[in-house]
Each structure stands twice: as C-alpha cells, then as structure tokens.
Chains A and B, each alone.
Chain A
Amino acid sequence: MVVATRPNSNILSSGRLLDETIAKKAIESAISLGAEYAELRLVSETTNSVTLKDGKLERAIPGQEVGLTMRILADGAWGVHSTSDVSSIVSQVESTVKLARAVASRRPTNQPAVGLAEVPIIEDEIHWKSQKDVRDTDLQTRIDLMLAIDNEAKDHEKIVSTSTGWSDEHIHTELVTSEGMNRVWSFQRSLIHGMVTARDESGVVSYRTRHGGEGGLELIEKCDLGFLGENARISALRLLGAERAPSGKMPMVADRDLTGVYIHEALGHPCEADLVAAGDSCLEGRLGQQIGSEICTVVDDPTMRGGYGCYPIDDEGVDTRPKNLIVNGVLTEYLNHRETAYRYDLEPNGGARAQDGLHHPLVRMSNTVIQGGTHNDLDELIEDINFGIYACGSRGGQVDTGRGSFQFAAQEAWIIENGSLTRPVKDVSVSGMTLEILKNVDGLTKDAHLASPGFCGKGQTVPVGDGGPLMRISEALVG
C-alpha cells in the first residue's frame, strides 16, 4: 500500500512537487461544480532532529514529509480536504464541494457568508537562501555543536543529567488557486536547545535554554553555545537553593523572554481577527481605542529575518509586512487573513499560517516585539521599586482571549527590595487582564530585540519569535 505518494521522489523537472496538470484539473473541477474559489497548497518539509542525553546520541531522525490541503469555498462556506496522498486529490474535489455546501446550508440567516478580500494575484518564486544550507549539515557537526552546550551544562556534581536537542527544517511550499495565484516559496529554520537537571537534599530542579531562528547552520554556529550551557547550569544550581515566590499584587520587571511571552499572550492572541470574528476576543470593536500605556508600541513582523516566526509569503499567498498592533497604546491593527479582512473591510496583512501541508491556515502571529522605551538598563527600571519581582526565562503561557485573562510562568526570578535584586525565588507565574495590565506598563529599556524562539499552539503548532526590551509593570498578580 502506498499511503502517500509524491509525483516523484525528487522535484519534477518543472521545479515543482505538485504536478501542475493535477492541480489544474482539481481547481477546474471545483469551479465547474460551482465553487467560488479553490486552492491547493502543498508543503514539503525536510527535517532533522537529534537528541543527546548526557552527551551521548539518543536519537537522530531524518525525514521528509509532504502534505496537501485543498480548500474550496462554495456558497460562502469552506470545505477542506487534506492528504499525504497527493495523487488522490482530484478524486476528492466533488465531496469537498458538497461539504462546503452542507456547511453553507446551515449558516444562520444573520451570519455573513465567507468572502475573501482581494489581493494581488502573483505568479513567482521566493526562496530565502541560508548562508549555510542546513540540509548539507552532517550528523557529526550537529552533535559537536550540541556538545558545546552539554559540556558546559554538566560541569557540576549536582547536575544529575543533561539533555540537548537539535531541530532543523527546510520548508518548501507551493500554492495554486483558482484566481491564478501560483507561488512557490522556501526557507529554513534551525533550533538548538538544552535542559539541565540538578539535585541536592533540597529537591530536584530543571532549567531549559534555547537558541534558533529562520536560517541555516550559520545561525547556530554564530551563537556562543558554551555560554548557553554555562548559564543553564548556573541557573539550575541557583534554583536548587531558591525559596518559593511570594504571592500577591506587586511591581514586576520582566526580561526579554518574558516580555515576549507577555506580549504574545496578552495582546497578540486577542488581536487575531479570526478570534475577533468568533466573538472570542476582548479587543473586539476596540480598533482606534487607547488600550495600553502610551509607551507601548507593538509590532508583529514576519519579515524580521532571523526570527523564528519568519515567513516570506503567508499561507494564502499574500505578501508579508510588519503589522503595528498598537502604537503608543492605541490599538491600530488586527492580524488577519483574507476571510477576516473581507469581513471587517481591512487590508489583508499576511497573517495566515498553517502548521504544515495537512492543516488549513489560521490567523497567527509571527515575530511579535514590543518596542524599546527610555530606560537605560535594569538598574534604572528597579531603582524605585521597594518590593517586587524580577522574572526571567519563559516556561510558557496561556490566554483566555474572550475574557482577556492571561498567565505566563518564569523559569527563575529574584526579589527586588529597595531598588536592588536581593535573593532568588522559584515558581513565579504572572497573571492578569489584558486591558488592565497593558496600562500598567510603566517602564521599558531602550534595547528591544527578539528573545528565545518559541512555539504557539492554537489547535495547530507554529514556530514564533517574541521579544522586546526589559519591561516594568507597576502592578501584576504574582504567584
């Protein structure tokens, strides 16, 4: 049984994986059956992941996966078919049109039909070349780079184990639509990460570190990996002796990692226009309103090369551009895709992303960064705090976009007392309401840039970049 086929194990002579005859036939068939729009998007991912445990190779997994998703818009509703069996797609057109019509027939009379905002119809190829194509990297090179983290991370008797990981991918996408869009794009992502576990009589703790972004081997080679490992070790050992964090409302200063997670969860998600359309965003109807402190300007930018959330073209074939989500505290733009842009009469801004070729695009963030402020450094930010928390490193976060409540957790933290960092604490999480806490941002350092790469889940998982400067919040719920 061939569970999945490609037209050929190599790219066709036309330079494409998707046979244009098959694509044309599928799209023409959908339109002849009365569909308003049909689209085929094929994604081929060449991947490598490697894991070392305690400096020894645990697993290395090379792979190539291909997926194809066909979206058909008929009678103002979507039908979708996804498969790894590319050759079967024509046979699925009729049933997918029927699916779309069955959904349309259920649309309440007070609900609008799905439409797509107009976008330039482009036929082209965009390939973001890495300086060092990560597909040419051999396993030993990957292992050697991982060992650079591991060797520093394990260098203490209280470190009971280390784990180091590598992940790279070359993503090749082809999009063909009934409107005549015919685009091909490719790019690469590379990621290296480590985790240190330390133990003593007080307990067992762990600390994670991560580096990566859009690009090839050069991205990892440029990083001081030994420094990452050393920092992870020092942080883990510090956590061993740390006390439990205090609870309550207090001033908080976040490092770049946490500033990024905060702005991603608290602002970025509620700005996603598909959630606005679903009635699940606290920012519905607030475009043009002051929702945050005047020092807050936030940009979501897929063109920020090197960021883990970069992409050259969105998954509906729309050119990417930076999106100013809030400017000086005023909500200025939602992230959107063609459907939500049409619904709200907005300019499409290239926010459609799918996890892979087997998923349909949703509105997603890319690289989300809060811009720098006026403070010079951490000392300036904390000098007038009598009692508060300085929280660093992200263990992730979550948001309830409808209520506008969010939570994120730090890897480590310090108590701030009388303008100085005094002692380390652990288990710090911060929660709040988007529309309250954005107004409580009262200090930002000048230097804003992307922090550690991350992943965002919204039913589908996509890589994202977040970051900003060091950020002070006058009052946050800690613990």
Chain B
Amino acid sequence: MILIPDDAVDRLFNSAEEIGKACEAAGVAEWEIYATQGYGHSLEIEAGKISMASGGGDGGFGIRIVEDGRYGYAHLVDPSTASAAIEQALSIARMSPSIEGFELPENKPSSNVQGMLDKNILNLGPEELLEQGDIVIERVKELDSRAIAVGGGIGVGAGADVILTSNGIEDGGIHTSHGLGIHVSIDENDDLTSSYEGESSRFMLKELTASVDKAVYWSQVTRDKIKGGDTEDCPVLMTSDGFSPLFSVVVPSAISGERLAKGESFWSGKMGQNVLSEHLSLVDDGLMEGGMSSASRDAEGVPSITQNIVESGKLVGELWSTRDAAKMVAEGKIDHAASTGSAVRGGHTSPPVCGCSDLVLSSNSKTFNRDGLIEEMENGYIVHSVMGAHTANPTSGDFSVTTSTILKVANGEIIGSLSQAGLSGNLAKAMNGRVILGDSSIRKGSYSTGSMHVPDVLLLDGLRINPA
C-alpha cells in the first residue's frame, strides 16, 4: 500500500498495549487507550491551476482513566512519555467530581460496518491525484470558457484507529476517504457569480466532476439578475447543499440527551410529542454502510446502533454517551439513561463526548424531484447556499443568514436571481410546519458532529426573505 503501512493497526495496538500496561503499573483501575494515525495526499487549486501538492501524516494517543466515578484525560505523541501523561490524567481525575454509576463501558458484541475502506485509495499515488486535479480544472473550462476554478482542492486519506480498554474492548481498523472541493467563479461585465461545491466519500468518488458541474451551473444560473422585491415571509426551497449547514448547526445539539435533560434544547420536555412535521423522521445511523461517521463501535468502544430519534414527527430518541448518561441520572435530571453508542471525538487530543453519527432526515409522505418541488412551491425562492450558517443559534433554532445563490420562483417557474438576500427564521419551528422533502439526499459534512443526510427541503412556513 502506498498511503498507509500494511501493519499500521498492529503497530497502534502494540503501542496501546504498552500504555495500558503502564496504566496498570500505576495502579489505574479502569483505563482506555485510543490511538490514531492518519496519512494523506492533497492538492490545492488556485486561479485555474494546481498551486501546491502536499502529503504527510500525524497521530497520537489519548488516555482516559476512571477511578471511583472520576475521570482524567491526557494525550501524547510518544508512547515513551506515557507515564507522565498517566500521572497527569490521575491528578485531574482526583480533582474531578465523582459520578455515581460512571464506569468505562463493558465489552459487548458489535456489528461490522461495511464500506469503510477502498483499496484503490490506499494505492493511489500523488501523481494520480494530480491527474484528478487536471481533470477537474479542464472540466471547468469545458463547461464554460468564462468560468475559473478560483479555489478548492482534492485529497485522499487513510487512517488507522484503535481502542483498547481495561474492560476488554479491543477494536481497530483502517478507513479511507476521498474528498473534493471546488470554488468556481464567472466574472464578466462587472458581475461576479460564484459557487462552492464539495463532496467526500469513503470510496473513490464515482463522478469526480459532479461537483464541478454543479458549481458551474450555479455560477451560470445566478447571472440572470432581477430586482429584489420587498421583505416577505414566503416558501423557500433549500437545496440539500443550502439546508445541511443550517441543519447541522441546529439539530445535532438539540438531540443530545444531556441538553434535553437540562432544558438546554428547544426540544426539552417534548419526548413523545410532535417536534417535526408528522411525515418526517430522523434516524441517527451509526452503522451506515460507507458512512463517513459510522463505525462498528463509538469513540468509547460501545457498539454502534441505528437509532430512531424522530418517528413520524414525534421525538422518540436521544443521544447518550456513557458519562453523560450516568451524570444526568446521578444528578436526578432523568430517571434512567444509558449509552446509545453516541460518543464521538475529534482525534486523540479529545476525550469522548456525545454527538451524532450519520444523521438521516426522511419522509414517509410523497417526495418530489427538484422540478416537482418548484411546482409545489409555486411562488417563493430557491436558496442553494448560505453565508453564516455557523452563526445560527443552536439553543433556540433561530438563524439569520445571507445568500447570493438565490432564485425567485413565480407561478412554478424560475424567473431570475437576486444579487443578495437575507434569510431568517427558526429552523425548529419551520420544520414543524408544512414541509415537503426532495426525493434524494446527499451526504454533507457538519459544523458540529457527524454527517448530515438531508434532501432538498421545501419549507412553506416561517421563513423570511429580505432582498438586498
């Protein structure tokens, strides 16, 4: 393999075992070692050319120890320094509050998740990646001689992860990824339009130029400007690309068990009640084949599951990590809670925290393709991307963002593009109103945790368009 050593997982296990032994030598009752090593190649595109190529790798170890319901954490890059890190983690644990019932997870059988690894990626060399860059840049020129790939990049990566615990959890594997981002602009007659598109997969992207086609299309279709009208509350069709960033800021935090229990979520106190339009369902799928946020076990070794969060509009589930569940029960915020295999972490430098995996929004009602959604909307706007999704308020669901890829629809027909407009509302309320979904979803990354799988979404109520 070109990208990652054949024995990467074995080598991580060997080092994790060494650190585990050091924990035992230090008298640590419960310990968890997480080890990771990643490698990758990437290229950057700038001003219509490949501007840089790079490669490399990094990794390290995270040590979590638990004593009497208290925990401490430390991370390191060199296993020979483990003793010092263990001492640090122990001293922190001794200052931490004891949570009754908090112990590291027991070892339970887990399911295999298929589609985590593509051998073609493992054997992909830097020169082949540069050839992909050539194809992407050429495609932009082919589609529109005015269009320029002003930015973007392509990358492949392979990572090895291992978790080893004093309770007998011993799991590890290799995963791969291939990602592309492309920023296209058309600058003509003092009017610059642009679009950024991206996608990623555990497997080699099947259609390398699909994002390019989309970026050029949106750069073209937004050039036909019309005057913005008055501010209006109206239906808005958000493409999957425009909707998923807002969705990822607002929804994952709302379904955290701890936030629900503490009253920090706009869905707190609504278990069993309608929180979304009654034909909508939300599933957190930790076992999705090829899922970018799926794995056989979560970040603390608990077997992953596929969990219904919202069924036919009713809130029925929530996400828990082991410690959050124990803490909320110990504090009397909730009678019973247990891990749902929802621990995630941002690498070896972070201890496990609660988060979603592959989060899927679906409908049991009739869905439509984009043309069908436009017909259903009749009058309103199509929004393809937004600026400032990260400024949405995850506590309340309120947001106020800006878009420059917005099309006006009148009598079921696109009649032109606005140069810029504000888009505001409350996402939780809008999704609990009249909603129609598109018939296909694409996976998108997230501003918070996990991966979002949302289709085009027609929100008929509760949104305001404020043309510039």
Contacts and interface: CB of A to CB of B under 8 A. Distances in A.
Q: Do A and B come from one complex?
A: yes
Interface of A: 1-6, 9, 56-57, 59-67, 69, 77-85, 92, 95-96, 98-100, 102-103, 106-108, 111, 139-140, 143, 160-161, 197, 199, 203-206, 244-245, 247-248, 274, 277-280, 282, 358, 360, 395-400, 402-403, 405-409, 426-429, 431-433, 477-479
A160 B192 CA distance: 47
Given A1-B37, A429-B424, A83 B468 contact: no
B188 interface: no
Contacts of A4: 58-60, 77-78
Given A2-B15, A62-B74, A427-B399, A279 B390 contact: no
B464 A479 contact: yes
B168 to A, nearest CB: 22
Contacts of A143: 95
Contacts of B400: 245, 409, 427-429, 479
Given A57-B96, A85-B57, A106-B134, 9 more contacts: A3-B61, A78-B52, A106-B50, A204-B263, A204-B396, A398-B388, A398-B390, A400-B387, A409-B400
Contact of A400 (B395, B398, B404): B404
A111 B79 CA distance: 47
B74 A63 contact: yes
A66 B148 contact: no
14 contacts: A1-B14, A60-B96, A65-B75, A78-B53, A92-B56, A103-B50, A108-B48, A161-B263, A205-B395, A279-B150, A358-B56, A360-B52, A429-B422, A431-B388
B57 A84 contact: yes
Nearest to A140: B95
Given A103-B51, A428-B400, A429-B388, A83 B58 contact: yes
B331 to A, nearest CB: 9
Contacts of B192: 282, 402-403
Interface string B55-96: 111111100000000001111111111001000100110011
Nearest to B467: A477
A3 B133 CA distance: 30
Contacts of B115: none
Contacts of B390: 396, 398
A400 B231 CA distance: 23
A248 B230 CA distance: 9
Contacts of A60: 72-73, 92, 95-96
Given A81-B55, A103-B130, A479-B466, A204 B266 contact: yes
Contact of B47 (A111, A428, A429): A111
A80 B54 CA distance: 4
A30 B175 CA distance: 32
Contacts of B220: none
Contacts of A67: 58
Label chain A's interface by main secondary structure.
Answer: strand
Interface bin, chain B: 35 or more
Given A2-B79, A103-B51, A248 B401 contact: no
A239 B70 CA distance: 36
A248 B57 contact: no
Most chain A CB neighbours (cut-off 10 Å) among B49, B92, B130, B395: B395
A367 to B, nearest CB: 22
B4 to A, nearest CB: 12
A247 B468 contact: no
Contact of A402 (B8, B12, B46, B194): B194
A427 B464 CA distance: 12
B37 A103 contact: no
B263 A99 contact: no
A95 B185 CA distance: 33
A380 to B, nearest CB: 28
A341 B325 CA distance: 55
Contact of A204 (B12, B15, B35, B395): B395
Contacts of B393: 205-206, 395, 427
User: 5 shortest A-B CB distances, which residue pairs?
Assistant: A1-B11, A4-B77, A409-B391, A80-B54, A429-B400
Contacts of A479: 231, 400, 422, 424, 464, 466
A99 B46 contact: no
Interface in B230-283: 231, 262-266, 268
Contact of B57 (A77, A83, A96): A83
B349 A61 contact: yes
A204 B464 contact: no
Contacts of A396: 388, 390-391
B339 to A, nearest CB: 17
A124 B363 CA distance: 64
Contact of A197 (B46, B183, B264, B464): B264
B420 interface: yes
A383 B37 CA distance: 60
Given A60-B73, A102-B127, A102-B130, A431 B53 contact: no
B48 to A, nearest CB: 7
B268 A204 contact: yes
Contacts of A9: 78, 80-81, 84
Contacts of A84: 57-60, 77
Interface in B382-429: 387-388, 390-391, 393, 395-396, 398-402, 404, 420, 422, 424
Contacts of B91: 139
A65 B349 contact: yes
Contact of A407 (B77, B262, B387): B387
B126 interface: yes
A67 B59 CA distance: 10
Contacts of B351: 59, 61
B101 interface: no
Given A279-B185, A396-B388, A477-B468, A83 B56 contact: yes
B372 interface: no
A426 B425 CA distance: 11
Interface string B171-203: 000000000000101010000111000000000
B95 A278 contact: no
Most chain A CB neighbours (cut-off 10 Å) among B192, B400, B404: B400
B163 to A, nearest CB: 15
Given A57-B95, A102-B126, A248-B466, A431 B150 contact: no
B55 A56 contact: no
B388 A80 contact: no
Given A3-B60, A203-B396, A403 B55 contact: no
Contacts of A100: 53
B55 A106 contact: no
A67 to B, nearest CB: 7
B433 interface: no
A247 B464 CA distance: 9
B55 A402 contact: no
B350 interface: yes
A247 B422 contact: yes
Most chain A CB neighbours (cut-off 10 Å) among B14, B51, B262: B51
A55 to B, nearest CB: 10
Interface in B324-380: 349-351
A63 B88 CA distance: 9
Contacts of B151: 278, 280
A273 to B, nearest CB: 12
Given A61-B351, A247-B424, A80 B73 contact: no
Nearest to B7: A1
Nearest to A245: B400
Contacts of A247: 231, 422, 424, 464, 466
